[in-house]
Structure 1
Amino acid sequence: MMHIGYTMMTEQAGPRELVGHVVEAERAGFDFSVISDHSFPWLEEQGHAPYAWSVLGAAAQATSRIPLMTYVTCPTFRYHPAVIAQKAATLQLLSEGRFRLGLGSGENLNEHVVGAGWPSARVRLAMLDEAAEIIRALFAGGYVTRHGRYFPVENARLWDVPDTPPPVGVAVSGPRSCALAGRHADLLIATEPRRELVQAFEAQGGAGKPRMGQLPVCHDTDREVAEARAHAQFRWALGGWRVNSELPLPASFDQASQHTRPEDVAKSIPCGDDVGAVVDAVRPFVEAGFTDVALVQIGGDSQLPFLRWAETRLLPALRDL
C-alpha cells in the first residue's frame, strides 16, 4: 500500500504555523511527515525560512504518532556531519523513534551562506559520501576520529544515542547518487517518478527498502485561484534539478522563471479540488515502484483547508491506489 505523507514546507510558513500544520496532518490521518531544511525560500513570494531542526523538536513534542523526517538536509556545508549526527540522534530520542534522517547534496540557494564556495556535483556527492560514513559511525556509538578528504573529525562521540538509530534516506537524481544511496541509505528519496532511479538503487543494494517521492499540489475550491497561487510560489520548480541546485538567491529563481506562465505550472501541478487529478499525479510514483509519496500543499495560508479536504476526500481516494 502506498504511504501518503505531508510536507512542512519551511519556505512558505513560520515556525509556529508549521508545528500547528503537522499536528493537524497527524489528526487528518497522514502516514508520515517531512520537512524542508532551507536558509532561503525559493522565491521572495514564499517569504519564510525558519530553522527546520527547532521546528522538528517542537513537532516531536506536539505530536504523538506521525513520523518526522528531513526532506532533505545537507550535511556538508552549513552543517558538519558530526553535528548532523547529534541533531538526528536527539530528534530520534525526543520523538520516541519516529525520526528519519533524509540527506542530500544540497542547493547553492541554502549552502552559500557559509561562504565555502559551490563545487561541482561530482565533488558534492563525494562530500555526501564521506559525511554519510561519519554519521553512520557516530550512530554506532563510541569515539570517532577521522581525517578524510573533506571532514576532519577529532574524538567525536554521541552521548545520547537512541537504541535504534534514525533510518537514513539519501536523495538521488542519477546513477552516481543511486550508487551512493545503495551503500548508505535505508530508503531512497527522489522528486520525480523515474523507474530507472528505483532500479539503480535496488541494483546497488537497496532491494526491498522504501522509496519515497514528493508531489506538489495546490488545492483550492477555485481552480483559477489555485493556479495563480501555484504560479506565484512554485514556478521555480519547473527549472529542473540541474538548474535548481545551482542558483544562489531567490532573485535568481525569479529571473530564471520569468517566462513561465500559469498554464505551464498548471500542466505539471494538480490545481483546484479535483481528487482525481491528484490521484492521477500520484499513480506514476506507484507504477515506478515508489512506496511513499509526500504531498506539498502550495501556500502557507492554505494548509488547514487542504488538510480538511485531504482527510475527508483525498486520503481515502489515494488509499485505493
Structure 2
Amino acid sequence: MTALGAVFRPQLPPERLRSLARLADDSGLEELWLWEDCFREGGIATAAAALAWTERVRVGVGLLPVPLRNVALTAMEAASLHRMFPGRAVLGVGHGVQDWMAQVGARAESPLTLLREHLTALRALLAGERVTTKGRYVRLDDVALDWPPPGPAPVFAGATGPRTLRLSGEAADGTILTSATPPDGVRQARRLVDEGRRASGRTGVPHHVVVYLLAATGPDAAERLRAELAAEGTGQVPGLGAAGDADTVAEAVRRLAEAGADTVVLQPTGDEPDPESFVRFVAQEVRPRVP
C-alpha cells in the first residue's frame, strides 16, 4: 500500500504546529512531514513536539542539512526520538541549499563527500557501533551512543542529482525526492538508487522512496499551483503537481506510486489559505482513493 502524508510547511509559524499535528493524528493521516528550512524552524525541535502531541502518526523530517550538524549530535537527537517514540520518527539528511549553507559559513567544497561521510557515520552510530573515523569532514574518535535505538533506525537521504541518488542507494535506507520530480523522474531516480545498491551489495535490503507532490484544492487551486510552479522555475515541466478535487489529486498520487514511490507526501502551496482543511482533505478524501 502506498503511504500518504502531508507537509507542515515552515512558512507557517511554529505555534501552528500543535493543532495541525493533532488533526493529522485524529484524522488518520499516516505521515506528517516537516522541513528544516533556513531560517525558519528547526527540524528536531518541531519533530519532538509533534511526536509528543500525537499518538500514532509518523513524523518525518525532510531534511536535516548535514553542513549545519555534527554527526554525533545528529545521532544523539535521532536516537532520542527513536527511543521515546518507537517506530514513529523518520529522519532524512541532505546537502542543504548551498546558498543558505554559505550564509552561515558552513558550505562544503564537496557536498557529496560530506554527505557520504555523514551517512556512513550516522548509520553506524545508530546501529550501536563504536566509531573512529578521520574523513575529510567527519572525524570521530572512539564515539558510541550510550542510548542507541533498541531497534532499526532508518536514515533517509534527500537527493536530486545522479551522483547523490547513487550515493543514497549505497549509504542510506531510503531516498526523499522533491516536488520537482514527475513520474518519469521517479523511475529514473529508482534506477540510479538501484545502481548504488548494486555497487554496495545492498540489493537485498529494502529501500524506501518518498516523493513530495505539490497539491492544491479549492476554487483557486489551479491558479495557486501555476503560480508556485512558476516561482520555482518548474512551470514548463510536464507532470508536476495536482490541482483540483480528490479524484484529481489521487490520480496524481497513483501515477507516482506506479513509478516507484512508496510514500507520497502532499505539499500544499506556500499560500495555502486553510492548512487544517488541507490535512483533512488528504486524510479523509484523497486517502480512500489511493490503494
TM range (shorter): 0.7 to 0.9
Look up the SS of the partner of 2:7 in the other structure. Answer: strand
| Structure with greater helix share of residues | 1
Contact 2:246 2:281 in 1 (8 A): no
Which residue is equivalent to 1:297? 268
Which whole-Å deviations, capped at 9, do the CAs of 1:151-207 have from their partners, x for residues lacking one?
Answer: 222343322211014211122223312221122222222121321211222233264
> How much has 1:74 moved relative to structure 2?
1.6
Counterpart code for 2:253: V
In structure 2, what residue type is equivalent to 1:9?
R
Equivalent residue in structure 1 for 2:285, among 313, 316, 320 = 313
**Corresponding residue for residue 277 of structure 1:** 248
Choose the corresponding residue for 2:194, options 187, 202, 226: 202
TM-fit CA distance, 1:289? 1.5
What residue in structure 2 maps to residue 9 of structure 1?
9
| Paired positions, count | 279
CA distance in 2 between partners of 1:219 and 1:232 (Å): 14
1:110 corresponds to which of 100, 104, 107: 100
Moved more, 60-69 or 19-28: 19-28
Distance 1:316 1:212, change over 3 A: same
Cα-Cα RMSD:
2.5
CA drift of 1:131 comes to: 0.7
SS at match of 1:64: coil
Gaps in structure 1 of 5+ consecutive residues: 41-48, 240-259
C-alpha distance in structure 2 between counterparts of 1:64 and 1:34, whole Å:
15
Structure 1 position 117, deviation (Å):
3.6
Match of 1:54 in 2: 45
Separation in structure 1 between the aligned mates of residue 148 and residue 275 of structure 2, nearest angstrom: 35
The alpha carbon displacement at 1:138 in A equals 1.4
Does structure 2 conserve the Cα–Cα contact (< 8 Å) formed by 1:231 and 1:265? no
User: Partner of 1:45 in structure 2?
Assistant: none
- With over 3 angstroms needed to count, the CA separation of the structure-2 counterparts of 1:109 and 1:230, relative to structure 1, is farther
The residue type equivalent to 1:90 in the other structure is: S
Structure 1 moving runs of 4+ over 6 Å: 264-267
Q: Which residue of 2 aligns with 1:35?
A: 34
Q: Which has the higher strand share?
A: 2
> What is the aligned partner in structure 2 of residue 190 from structure 1?
177
Partner deviation per Cα, 1:123-174 (whole Å, 9 max, x = no partner):
2111100111111221132543322111222343322211014211122223
CA distance in 1, matches of 2:229, 2:14: 20
